[in-house]
Amino acid sequence: MNILESETAALSSNERGEMGKSLREQAPRAAHAAWKPAADRRDPIEVLDESSVGRVPELIPIRYGRMLASPFAFLRGSAAVMAGDLVATPASGIFVQACGDCHLSNFGLFATPERNLVFDLNDFDETLPAPWEWDIKRLAASFAVVGRENNISDSRCKAIVHVLADAYRTHLREFAAMRVLDAWYARIDDEMLIATAPDAAARQRREKIAAKARASVTEYLFPKISQLVDGRRTIVDQPPLVYHPPRRSDEDERIIKLMGAYHDSLAQDRLKLFERYRFQDYAFKAVGVGSVGTHCYVLLYLADENDPLLLQVKEARPSVLEPYAGRGQFDHHGQRIVIGQRLVQAASDIFLGWTTGKDGMHFYIRQLRDMKFSLPLDDIEAKGLAYYAAVCGWALARAHAKGGDAAMISGYLGQSDAFDQALAKFALAYADQTERDHAMLVKAVKAGRVQAVVEK
């Protein structure tokens, strides 16, 4: 059952909360603790192979090599596997604009159009209207997996997920009580993060993180990835992850068409801004873990010699949620991603847009690494991971309040920790599943069933 906003638009916040509460009868909160693989669960390696269709063949082994690194790396690259598992878990029927690939590394700091730093979700390749539970369950599982990899006990991992769920539930209730516009404009900026730090050490750590994010701007990145060749600024090759593909005879025509369609997706003021830059160069770029092998390019533009604009042109493939939640309203997957991102994020990149390649491939476009920063997860302690869980729960509540019905979800969750306890149990159970699936990939590589290249 999918409860649409159109069906509840005429109801008050209190009425929607009561409606959410009534949904516990069909999906008890305690039921969310359960995870047991279905008897006909698909082989995860087959699912991964299917998701590799259409990717750049020589980069697929790099994708598997990255996923070999750890169970969390596997989880990051296997959103399609977990999507197939989540559809069989209990759901209240309340849909939001879901991230679709909601794990702890897909949160971070980035710059708003006003050059302020905010903390939010920052990956939307899989975004689609879907049950809110799918996002929070994937996020919870990621905390359990990362916790174990950092030698944190299962009891502490459960406590960390409990913190995540409590933050999500508590902040969602706050957003449900706000006026609609207040909730829409709400954001978590770096000053709020620093001010809400639980102790002096955490405050100092957050100040350093904010400073690092502010250093990660285009002007800082530009000299590192570009060079002058015969008087023209070009992108530096760093094979096999960044390289210039062989030029086609119709290359200029292809780029003109690609960017012409992109122009149509921009508001007029953004288009006027973009037209002040001149195209210089482009290169292929391998990205992420789950996205390795998809068609992704870096485009270099200049307004002046030291006035660069770096754009990422990324292939937009069908969401992994589509087979289970439906296709959604957009035929163009780039448009699906852009509209979903704008609907969920507190503030989105001013150059965010979509386009279609000459061969019909869908893309979306955004700035490359403009004040972006994600938390390093190596050697993180339980206390730090719990602090991070609280912030991620807060950010996800804000995202779901903007892209869904906060009052209804809040009514379903209630004020007790019934859902929190259930989510903690699910997270550990699915962490077990992720470890088993990762072991299957290791075995498949050793048996020669899958080719993997481990980067040095």
Backbone φ/ψ region at 278: left (φ over 0), alpha (ψ -120 to 50), beta: beta
Residue 412 amino acid letter: Y
Strand partners, 131: 95
Provide, rounded to the nearest whole percent, the portion of the chain with pLDDT above 90. 69
Of 309, 238, 300, 306, the C-alpha closest to 273 is 309
* CB contact at 8 A, 418 and 129: no
Nearest Cα residue to 248 out of 160, 358, 367, 142: 358
pLDDT recorded at residue 202:
83
Number of alpha carbons in the 13 Å side-chain half-sphere of residue 30: 1
- Whether residue 18 is predicted with pLDDT greater than 70 in this model: the reply is yes
Is 372's pLDDT higher than 80? no
Give me 2's structure tokens.
Answer: 């999918």
For residue 371, pLDDT beyond 60: no
Classify 382 as helix, strand or coil. Answer: helix
Residues 82-91, mean pLDDT to the nearest whole number? 97
b/e 160-190 (16+ beta carbons within 10 angstroms → b): bbbbbbbbbbbbbbbbbeeeeeebeebbbbb
Q: What is the pLDDT of residue 112?
A: 81
Q: Measured between alpha carbons, how far is 353 from 441 in angstroms, rounded to an integer?
A: 36
For residues 20-28, average pLDDT: 97
What is residue 343's predicted lDDT score, i.e. its pLDDT? 95
**Exposure b/e, 8-43, CB count within 10 A at least 16 = b:** beeeebeebbebbeebbeebebeebbebeeeeeeee
In the structure, what pLDDT confidence band is assigned to residue 4 with cuts at 50, 70 and 90?
low
Instruction: Give pLDDT tens digits for 291-306.
Output: 888 989 999 999 998 8
Tokens of 232: 């023209």
- Residue ranges covered by each domain of the chain: 5-214+377-446, 218-367
Asked whether the beta carbons of 173 and 410 are under 8 A apart, the reply is: yes
Candidates 404, 393, 402, 265; CA nearest to 345 is 402
Q: What is the pLDDT of residues 98-118, one digit of tens each?
A: 999 999 999 988 888 777 889
pLDDT digits (tens, 9 = 90+) for 32-53: 999 999 999 999 999 999 999 9
**Across the chain, what does the average pLDDT equal?**
91
Q: Which of 107, 123, 113, 109 is nearest to 373 (CA)?
A: 109
Cα gap 363→262, rounded to integer Å: 9
Q: For every residue of 108-148, which 3-state class applies, written as one string?
A: EEEECCCCCEEEEECCCCCCEEEEHHHHHHHHHHHHHHHHH
Place of tokens 């902040």: 171
Q: Which of 395, 449, 400, 428 is nearest to 159 (CA)?
A: 428
Which 3 state secondary structure label does DSSP give 110? Answer: strand
Name which of 17-31, 91-105, 232-246 the model is least confident about. 232-246
Query: Terminal CA-to-CA distance of the chain, rounded, Å?
Result: 48
DSSP 373: B
Q: To the nearest whole percent, how much of the chain has pLDDT over 70?
A: 95
CA atoms within 13 A on the CB side of 325: 33
Query: Is 253 a residue whose pLDDT tops 80?
Result: no
Q: Model pTM?
A: 0.93
Question: Of 59-68, 193-202, 316-325, which gets the smallest average pLDDT?
Answer: 193-202
Which carries the bigger pLDDT value, residue 217 or residue 414?
414
